[in-house]
Amino acid sequence: MTSLAFDTTHTVTLAGSGFGFLLFVSTFAFLYFQNGRKFKALKRKKFLVPYLLGLLVMVLASSCAGGLLALISGETTASGNRAGDLLSKGMVGGGGAVDVGQHTELTFSGSWIALAILVICGLFLYFAKKWGERLLMLSGALTGSTWGLTISLGGAAAWSAIPLANWLGQLLIG
């Protein structure tokens, strides 16, 4: 029997990446079917803003070298890897323990931008009127933590979001 303890890690496994993909597809499939099978409903701000905010903060947090952001990201990455491992063994019949990570780090100033976005997410979660918004943000955060270091989304973040946060942090903070 395997233990249910989570290890803090910044290495995404193939199973964790698959779980992030499944969570992404399931979230938007649920919204699609809930809103009358119309793709137009998926473009509404009330769905996209919380989801993308959670996704962005965890993609940036997965690029932090240490501190609170790295701890939060490491815990959610480990839980995504564990959930993906359980699902892959039970549903698709494989292990998926292969690491699929690449790592680009935020600079000191860029990490402050990620922390500012985390504060905005915390305020959004606190002042959200419905649980649906909170669940969308948490779904986006878990997807971002499992895809944030992979070649797919992590590669796009490595050449766009992370340099942008580093540049903005250097411009604003110094």
**Per-residue pLDDT tens over the stretch 105-147:** 788 888 888 888 889 988 988 988 888 888 888 888 888 888 7
Cα 18 to Cα 88, 104, 116, 150, 169, distances in angstroms: 8, 21, 29, 10, 32
Nearest CA-CA partner of 10 in 93, 104, 83, 95: 104
Q: Write down how long the chain is.
A: 174
Distances (CA, A) of 12 to 47, 137, 150: 26, 20, 7
Long-range contacts, stretch 87-94, CB < 8 angstroms, 24+ apart: 87/15, 87/18, 87/19, 87/22, 88/15, 88/18, 88/19, 92/18, 94/15
DSSP-H helix ranges across the chain? 14-34, 45-61, 67-87, 108-127, 131-147, 152-159, 161-172
In a domain, 76, yes or no: yes
Written as six digits, the tokens of 25 are 């597809």
pTM of the model: 0.78
Q: Is residue 9 part of a domain?
A: no
Q: Is residue 115 part of a domain?
A: yes
10-14, 116-120, 157-161 — most confident range:
116-120
Angle at 31 between CA 33 and CA 152, to 5 degrees: 120
For 34-91, what is each residue's pLDDT tens digit? 888 888 877 788 888 888 888 888 888 877 777 888 888 888 888 888 888 888 887 7
Count of domains in the chain?
1
Largest Cα span, the chain: 51
**Does the residue 2 lie in any domain?**
no
Domain ranges, residue 49: 14-172
Supply the pLDDT for residue 107: 81
Amino acid at 41: A
Joined together, the tokens standing for residue 152 give 């797919």
pLDDT at 1: 43
